[in-house]
Amino acid sequence: MFGKDNGGENSGESENVQSSTNAQSSNKNVWLQRGILGAILLATGIYLFQQVYVFAPDEGSLGGPVKGLTPNQLRKFYATRVVFKKEFTPEEGLGPLFNGKSCFECHGQPTERVGGEGRDVVSTGVVRIGRRIAQRPKAKQPLKDVITGLGQDDVDIMLFQGGPALERKSITSEFVNKYPPDCQIEIGSVPSGAELISLRHAPPLFGFGLIEAIPDPDIVQNVFKELKSNPQLAGRALSQIDPLTYRPRISRFGWKNQNSTLLTFTQEALNVEMGVTTFFQENEKSATGISNFPKCIYKYLPSEPNDKGHVMAQLAYHQALLAPPDRGPITEEVKRGEKVFEQLQCAVCHLPEMSTAPIVYVVDPDSPGPELKHMEIQALESKPVKAFSDFLVHQMGVKLADGLPQGGAQGGEWRTTPLWGLRFKKFLLHDGRTSDINEAILAHGGQAEQVVKNYDALPEKEKSDLLAFLKSL
C-alpha cells in the first residue's frame, strides 16, 4: 500500500507529478498516524510498566526508601521527597516567626541526603529557654546542685518571652522588601532572666518508620530488662497522650523523648520550626504563644490553618519510609570492639536490636485532610531495628544536663541516642558539642558514670577496637 511507488527510480518516469505528490502526502499521513499510534502505545506501555516497576536506584541507601516497597508506595515516597525539600513561602504559611524554610534545611547532612542531620549546630540547631520558678524550693539552691533533677513544676518555659523554643527568623527579617518598614516582626532572642539555655542539634531521621513501628510494650519491657541486668543503668519509659489521636503512646522521638509518633513530631516541627499552622494548632497564637504581632501584618498572612492536612501527612509518610543506615565493613577489629561494647554494658542502654510490629500502618500522604487515612506497609513489618537504643531516658549527670524538663524528662535526663549511622554523623550529643566519639563517651555521667570509668581504664588496644566498632555503625 505504501512505499513502493513513491520514488522515481523503480516505477519509471511515466507517472505524473500530481500522483507522486499525492502518494507522498498520503505516506506522510500514514507515518503520522503510525507515529501517534506508537506514541500512545509507548505511553501506555510506560504507564503499565510503572504499575509493576518504579526505578529506585537509591533503595536502601541514606536518604533513599526502605527496601521492599510496592511501586505505588515508592511513587508516593518520591513524590513526598519534594515536599521535604520544598522551601515554604510566607504566602504558603511560612512564619510569621520561624527557624527554617524547609525540613531539608536542617535535615540534609551528609550533603543532599534527605532526612540527615543539621549541617552545622549554630544555624540549624534550635535554642530552648527557661528559668526556675522562684517560689519552688529548687530555686533557692545553687543551680548546679539541682539542675539534673529539675522537673515540670520547677521550671517556667517563658512562653510569653519567646520560649520554650526561640524563633530566630521572621518573614519581615528574611523577606526585607516585602512588608512595610513600619510593620516589622521582632525575632526571638534569649530574654533577660533566661537561666536555662539549651542548644539542640538537629538529628538525622533515617530509619524512623522502623522506630515508630516498635510496639509500645517492647519499649516498656526494656525497663524491666535493665532493672534485671543492672539496676544502676535502668532507664524510664515516657508516655504521651498523642494529641492527634488522644491515645496514650510510649515516646521514642526527640532528644528528651518528648514525642511518640512521626505525625505529632512533624506537626510540631511545622509549627515551631516553620510557623506553618495545621488543623491541630490552627492559629499562630496557639502555635507559638505569641499574640502581639503588629496588626498590620495580618492582611499579608494566608488563611489558617496554613496546612489543611496534606503537608503534615506527606512529611510523616516520607520520614516513615526513609531507609535505616546500613553497617560499614565488619572487620576482626570491629567484631572484637562489639564484644567490648557489650562487656562495658554500653549495650544495656544502647540496645543493639529491637523489632517492629507484625502489622504496620503509616499515614497515607494522599489523605483527604483534615481526615487522615492510613496504609499498610509490609516492608516495615516484623523487621529488625538495629538502632542501638532502648528508647528510654536516663539520668546523664551534670555535664550533659540542660536543666530543662520536657515531655516528662527531667533536667539531666536524655533519651539514649540511637547509634546507627554514627559513622556519617558530624556532630555528637544533644548540643552537637563535639565530633569526637571519645569525647562524647567521656561526657556521659550520672547513671553511666561507672561504665565510663571502666571505658577510660581500658587498655589502648581494646579502646581502639571499641572505636572501630562504633565507626562501623
Show the cell assigned to 154: 520547677
Give whichever of 185 and 346 is closer to ligand HEC, judged by the CB atom: 346
Residue 269 sits in the site that holds ligand HEC (CB under 6 A): yes
Residue 448 sits in the site that holds ligand HEC (CB under 6 A): yes
Binder of ligand HEC out of 179, 394, 410, 472 (CB under 6 A): 394
* Cβ burial, residue 239 (10 Å; 0-12/13-18/19+): middle
Give whichever of 265 and 293 is closer to ligand HEC, judged by the CB atom: 265
Residue 214 sits in the site that holds ligand HEC (CB under 6 A): no
Binder of ligand HEC out of 114, 129, 214, 270 (CB under 6 A): 270
> Side-chain half-sphere of 393: how many Cα atoms within 13 Å?
29
In 3D space, the residue among 13, 473, 438, 421 whose CA is nearest the CA of residue 207 turns out to be: 421
Residue 240 sits in the site that holds ligand HEC (CB under 6 A): no
Binder of ligand HEC out of 80, 99, 172, 240 (CB under 6 A): 99
Q: Are 146 and 401 in contact (CB under 8 A)?
A: no
Distance of closest approach, residue 396 Cβ to ligand HEC, in angstroms: 5
Residues 6+ apart with CB under 8 A from 244: 261, 263, 264, 267, 280, 372
Residue 455 sits in the site that holds ligand HEC (CB under 6 A): yes
Residue 396 sits in the site that holds ligand HEC (CB under 6 A): yes
Binder of ligand HEC out of 156, 273, 284, 465 (CB under 6 A): 273
How many angstroms separate the CA atoms of 359 and 186, rounded? 48
How many angstroms separate the CA atoms of 473 and 282, rounded? 41
Binder of ligand HEC out of 62, 66, 97, 106 (CB under 6 A): 106
Binder of ligand HEC out of 90, 94, 97, 105 (CB under 6 A): 105
Residue 265 sits in the site that holds ligand HEC (CB under 6 A): yes
In 3D space, the residue among 209, 207, 200, 205 whose CA is nearest the CA of residue 108 turns out to be: 205
First to last CA, the chain: 69
Residue 324 sits in the site that holds ligand HEC (CB under 6 A): no
> Residue 235 carries which side chain, given as an amino acid letter?
G
Q: Are 426 and 109 in contact (CB under 8 A)?
A: yes
Residue 387 sits in the site that holds ligand HEC (CB under 6 A): no
Binder of ligand HEC out of 280, 417, 420, 465 (CB under 6 A): 417
Distance of closest approach, residue 58 Cβ to ligand HEC, in angstroms: 19
Question: Using alpha carbons only, what angle is made at residue 277 by residues 273 and 280, rounded to the nearest 5 degrees?
Answer: 115
Binding mask 161-190 for ligand HEC (x = CB under 6 A): ------------------------------
In 3D space, the residue among 306, 314, 322, 315 whose CA is nearest the CA of residue 368 turns out to be: 314
How many angstroms separate the CA atoms of 268 and 302, rounded? 19
Q: In Å, how far from its chain's centre is CA 417?
A: 14
Give whichever of 54 and 416 is closer to ligand HEC, judged by the CB atom: 416
In 3D space, the residue among 379, 462, 447 whose CA is nearest the CA of residue 70 turns out to be: 379
Residue 465 sits in the site that holds ligand HEC (CB under 6 A): no
Residue 383 sits in the site that holds ligand HEC (CB under 6 A): no
In 3D space, the residue among 446, 462, 457 whose CA is nearest the CA of residue 398 turns out to be: 446
Give whichever of 293 and 427 is closer to ligand HEC, judged by the CB atom: 427
How many angstroms separate the CA atoms of 116 and 190, rounded? 27
> Side-chain half-sphere of 135: how many Cα atoms within 13 Å?
2
Q: Give the total of residues touching ligand HEC (CB under 6 A).
A: 52
Give whichever of 23 and 466 is closer to ligand HEC, judged by the CB atom: 466
Residue 196 sits in the site that holds ligand HEC (CB under 6 A): no
**CA distance readout (Å), 119 to 97, 372, 431:** 21, 32, 13
Distance of closest approach, residue 149 Cβ to ligand HEC, in angstroms: 16
Binder of ligand HEC out of 254, 352, 365, 369 (CB under 6 A): 254
Residue 103 sits in the site that holds ligand HEC (CB under 6 A): yes
Q: Are 68 and 374 in contact (CB under 8 A)?
A: no
How many angstroms separate the CA atoms of 114 and 123, rounded? 18
Residue 405 sits in the site that holds ligand HEC (CB under 6 A): no
Residue 263 sits in the site that holds ligand HEC (CB under 6 A): no
The binding site for ligand HEC (CB under 6 A) comprises 99-100, 103, 105-107, 124-126, 200-203, 205, 233, 253-255, 262, 265-266, 269-270, 273-274, 315, 319, 344-346, 348-350, 394, 396, 400, 414, 416-417, 425, 428-430, 437, 440-441, 444, 447-448, 451, 455, 470
